[in-house]
Structure 1
Amino acid sequence: MIHPRPQLAEVSRPDWTKDASRNPAMLWLDKNENTDPELSKVVAGVVASLPPETFFTYPEAARLYAKLAAWVGCLPHNLCLAHGSDGVIRSVFEAYVSVGDKVLHPVPTFAMYPVYSKMYGARTVGLEYEASDKGPALPPERIIAAIAKERPRVVCLPNPDSPTGTIIPPDELEAIIAAAGEVGAIILVDEAYHPFHADSVVPLITRHPHLVVARSTGKAWGMAGVRIGYAIASEEVAIALHKVRPMYETGTMAVAVFERMLDHADAMEASVTRLSAGKTLFLDRMEALGLRTLRGGGNFLHVAFGAHAEKVHAALSDLVYYRKDFAEPCLKGFSRFSATTPELFGPVITRIEESVRT
């Protein structure tokens, strides 16, 4: 028998032969995708405008690097494109993590941090969110103390985090970044939900060369199916990430679509405004019913249906996909919905109100 690397013995992944397709007649609010119809029209129009050579040539990304750098506010040499922000995360692990290193991250968080830790033979240090009246909590001083004690090789810190929606204020986040630098750690701040949460640590890459910022186009840009993300880092770190990337960071279509979508940044920002309005509407109506909610960051929200849960879930079963509950104590009893427009949220809100009031 041919054995893979020993580290892979601990890795478990979903069955790739099992169909997990969703019913197109239902509303998809379970994976934090951008379901805004207006932005989808813009993306579809860009895809339809692509010339034939897009599909039979390998990618050339220099123009995208230049245009993206101008939009982000950095230099092209500070960027590394990837196959989604997930690709950025994997490149950080491949460039900086060796067998036996420690990787520190919150719990719960993005599922791939512990997976990549196992793949590359790292030891994970998980910092669990605590349940509180305001939702999941992880005080910055706990993170800083853990960094000083454990001296990890990489610190993974999404801001906002998912599935919790927690946000770390800028000054506290910079203190954590500085603490990572003091022990020689790379710190990966995952800004997948930018600009639903507008604060960013990108300007800090000049002061903290050990900082990597990961960004996605699957949330605000409505391009989850295109699969392109990017890292923003000091030139030294960006060079290291380029050294471990595949021959081509992503496909020609992804490069072409993103390059053209940057000309429609105003449409993306308008979509963020619409989805944020839908999120606020949903939360306001849930609170008017006397239900507990969490107003976290990102393009998603939490509501606890409490004694009405069974009735609500039954009422929504043929209308919408969403996360019904969590096993983690800090989110136990909460359901999570991705944000959508006020118009699309309308029928969902109505069903919930009818269930709670009857």
Structure 2
Amino acid sequence: MFEGPKPRAAVLRTKEYHPPLGSRDGVRLDFNENTFACSPKVLGVLGSISRADLTKYPERDPVEKLVASHLELKAEQVLLTNGVDEAIHVLCQTFLDEGDEFLLPIPTYSMYEVYGSSTEAKIVFVQAGVDFSFPLEAVLQKITSSTKLIAIANPNSPTGRSVSRESILKVLDRAPNAIVLVDEAYYHFYSQTVLDLIDKIPNLVVTRTFSKAYGLAGLRLGMLAAHESQMQWMRRIISPYSVNGLALACLPPALEDEAYLKWYVEEVLEGRKQFAAALERLGVSYWPSDANFILANIGAKHKEFAAAMRRSSVLVRDRSNDPGCDGCVRITMGTLEHTTIGIKALEASLAEIAWRANED
């Protein structure tokens, strides 16, 4: 029987990503999105877009200049992408070749491995310890002459743990011939950045997303920042029209509405504090987080817990399949209203499944 052409070997071994299936009706504490809404100024721009506007190919250059100015970077150092996922894909396609190594501390964002495994490079995993702090010494020891890309999510997902500037500088210094990606998707909930080093360190790349605090996940919009000497190669790889016109039209008002962004971030930070207090009161262990979520250790009843939360119309994400995360569930922080709902569901769900502290 004729089976047709086969894909290249790298595609056959690429790790698949399967987003959770099923309805997402309820309070969305599962995907680290903005749980409320985008800025009302964004909706104003969407309402003004005409039919004729949709006939034009998108031009990202003017908006990239605006973003660069907003971040105090040069326009040549900024590249808008179709979400941070495309930025990761572009990095892998630009810098990873056969014989190269992609150094990946784990657990971490799954798309690094997905896109890395689609190349001819070898992925070298570095497992974090039980406290999920960044395994600096282990990472430094794994760096070799073959290391071409290192991914550091800061803060990290699904753990929420952050990496110090000093640690990042040590990695950059140890691997001058490798691209060091610092993924700052959760920057607004952490406030620490290495974006100011872009002009000084050619092997540093920083990514940001507009899906989280800005509430634009449905428009798929991210950003990649790098020194001009490296950016020229990434611009060769990326599609010239990968960022759609609606996203480009909505980003300027989202950036402009700093009051809305400040309000939402403050809601999340206060909600994170309240949710952590509730977990402590109930005896549920968790890891300190600098992001808009908390990773809780539910233990053997993690699946039952997630299902019970769904019955309470609150969605959470079971992360037990992540390396070192057996029994762990990630819970997104949103507005204080959603935090209150989430805490009530937490209490009800633990009671429903007869959960007890220190259960295996």
Structures share a fold, TM > 0.5? yes
Give the structure 2 partner of residue 6 of structure 1.
9
Q: Distance in 2 between matches of 1:61 and 1:51?
A: 18
C-alpha RMSD of the superposition: 2.3
Q: Cα distance, 1:299 vs. partner?
A: 1.2
The CA deviation at 1:118 is 2.0
Deviation at 1:350, TM superposition (A): 1.7
Q: Is the CA contact (8 Å cut-off) linking 2:84 and 2:209 kept in structure 1?
A: yes
Deviation per CA, 1:303-351, whole angstroms, max 9, x where unpaired?
Answer: 2345886775454232111123513463222221111111112122123
Q: Give the letter for the 2:159 counterpart.
A: T
Distance 1:91 1:14, change over 3 A: closer
Alignment correspondent of 1:137? 133
Name the SS for the 2:170 alignment partner. helix
- The corresponding residue for 1:229 is 222
Quote the residue 1:29 is aligned against: 29
| TM-score relative to the length of structure 1 | 0.90
Match of 2:267?
Answer: 274
CA deviation after TM superposition for structure 1 residue 106, in Å: 1.1
TM superposition shift of 1:84: 0.7
- Which residue is equivalent to 1:121? 120
Using a 3 Å threshold, how does the CA distance of structure 1 residues 207 and 325 change in structure 2: closer, same or farther?
Answer: closer
Matching of residue 193 in structure 1 with residue 189 in structure 2: no
- Residue aligning to 2:295: 302
Runs (4 or more) in structure 1 with deviation over 6 Å come to: none
Paired with 1:208 and 1:108, the residues of 2 have a C-alpha distance of 26
Q: Separation in 2 of the partners of 1:247 and 1:317?
A: 41
Does the residue aligned with 1:156 lie in a helix, a strand or coil?
A: strand
CA distance, structure 1, for counterparts of residue 174 and residue 343 of structure 2: 44
Amino acid at match of 1:99: E
Asked if 1 retains the 8 angstrom alpha-carbon contact of 2:211 and 2:217, the reply is yes
Change (3 A) 1:315 1:246: closer
d(CA) in 1 for partners of 2:323, 2:121: 26
Counterpart check, 1:351 vs 2:345: yes
Aligned residues: 348
Partner amino acid, structure 2, of 1:342: L
Q: Does 1:323 align with 2:322?
A: no
Deviation at 1:52, TM superposition (A): 3.4
The residue number in structure 2 matching 1:155 is 150
> 2:41·2:253 contact (CA, 8 Å) conserved in 1?
no
Q: Secondary structure at the match of 1:125?
A: strand
Q: Is the 8 A contact 2:306 2:315 kept in 1?
A: no
CA distance in 2, matches of 1:123, 1:323: 29
TM-score, normalization: structure 2? 0.89
Which aligned pairs between 1:154-303 and structure 2 lie closer than 5 A? Answer: 154-181=149-176, 184-303=177-296
Which amino acid in 2 is paired with 1:70?
S
Does the aligned pair in 2 maintain the 1:136–1:331 contact within 8 Å? no
Cα distance change, pair 12–279 in 1 and its aligned pair in 2 (3 A): same
Cα distance in 1, alignment partners of residues 254 and 319 from structure 2: 35
Give 3-state SS (helix, strand or coil) of 1:105's partner.
strand
1:335 aligned residue: 329
Shift of 1:41: 4.2
Partner of residue 83, structure 2: 84
Q: For structure 2, which runs of at least 5 residues remain unmatched after alignment? A: 355-360
CA distance in structure 1 between the partners assigned to 2:85 and 2:322 by the alignment: 23
Instruction: Kindly indicate whether the alpha-carbon contact (under 8 Å) linking 2:285 and 2:297 is maintained by their aligned counterparts in 1.
Output: yes
Alignment check: 8 A CA contact 1:54 1:256 kept: no
2:202 aligned counterpart, secondary structure:
coil
Give the distance between the partners of 1:305 and 1:2, measured in 2 at CA.
46
Deviation at 1:61, TM superposition (A): 2.1
Alpha-carbon separation, structure 2, partners of 1:246 and 1:117: 19
Distance, in Å, in 2 between the alignment partners of 1:116 and 1:356 is 37
Assess, with a 3 A threshold, how the Cα gap between structure 1 residues 179 and 330 changes in structure 2: closer, same or farther.
same
Contact 2:209–2:222, Cα closer than 8 Å, also in 1:
yes
Residues 195-245 of structure 1 show CA distances to partners (whole Å, capped at 9, x for unaligned) of 112111111112211111111111111111101111111011111111111
Tell me if the contact between 2:133 and 2:162 (Cα under 8 Å) persists in the aligned partners. no
Tell me the secondary structure at the aligned position of residue 68 of structure 1: helix
Separation of aligned partners in 2, 1:178 and 1:249 = 33
Identity within the alignment, %: 27
| DSSP-derived class of the 1:231 partner | strand
